């Protein structure tokens, strides 16, 4: 997570309440304003945002922009879709970003989506094989569609 000074320096957040484990205030997005809560406690960094215009829900691009405001570019954060029994909804159009700081977060392998810029086919296949191995599964060559593609 960026330092509080770095977050303030963006000029995009007006902090109303500041505590030792977070803050709340108003964030100015490029096209709208929202209430924001940022916290760092219990092993998790968290940011939630709810547009002041209650008929609007933040888009993927909005949340990516918020991520860049709060976290460094090489830090991974997640949005969570919990089991129904654990779902909490205090504000209908509020979305959350989370980052675990007490251990490394598990992320799905990017190789299951496709190539990264500059990645060769051989590098991609090695990454796919490593992902199978990490999961304790055996990689079979038929997964590559006779060597042409991955399905």
pLDDT in tens, 67-80: 999 999 999 999 99
Is the per-residue pLDDT at 149 higher than 60? no
Mean pLDDT of 48-58: 95
At 19 the pLDDT is 96
At 51 the pLDDT is 97
Residue closest to 38 by CA, chosen among 111, 126, 86, 98: 98
At 85 the pLDDT is 94
Is the per-residue pLDDT at 13 higher than 90? yes
* Rounded distance between C-alpha atoms, residue 62 and residue 67, angstroms: 9
Is the per-residue pLDDT at 102 higher than 80? yes
At 139 the pLDDT is 85
Which ranges of the chain would DSSP assign to H, the alpha helix? 4-9, 60-70, 121-134
* Rounded distance between C-alpha atoms, residue 104 and residue 127, angstroms: 19
At 47 the pLDDT is 98
Which of the 8 DSSP states describes residue 78?
Answer: B
pTM: 0.85
Mean pLDDT score across all residues of the chain: 92
Buried/exposed 89-107: b ≥16 CB within 10 Å, e otherwise: eeeebbbbbebeeeeeeee
Residue with tokens 């042409």: 148
Mean pLDDT of 110-135: 91
């Amino acid at each position: 997570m960026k330092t509080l000074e770095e977050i303030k320096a963006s000029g995009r957040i007006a902090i109303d309440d500041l505590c030792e484990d977070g803050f709340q205030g108003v964030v100015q997005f490029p096209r709208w304003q929202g209430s924001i809560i940022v916290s760092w406690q219990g092993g998790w960094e968290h940011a939630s945002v709810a547009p002041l215009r209650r008929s609007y829900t933040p888009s993927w691009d909005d949340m990516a922009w918020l991520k860049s405001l709060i976290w460094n570019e090489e830090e991974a954060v997640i949005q969570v879709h919990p089991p129904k029994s654990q779902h909490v909804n205090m504000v209908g159009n509020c979305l959350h970003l989370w980052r675990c700081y007490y251990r490394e977060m598990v992320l799905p392998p990017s190789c299951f989506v496709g190539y990264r810029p500059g990645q060769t086919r051989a590098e991609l296949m090695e990454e796919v094989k490593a992902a199978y191995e990490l999961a304790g599964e055996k990689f079979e060559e038929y997964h590559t569609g006779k060597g042409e593609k991955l399905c």
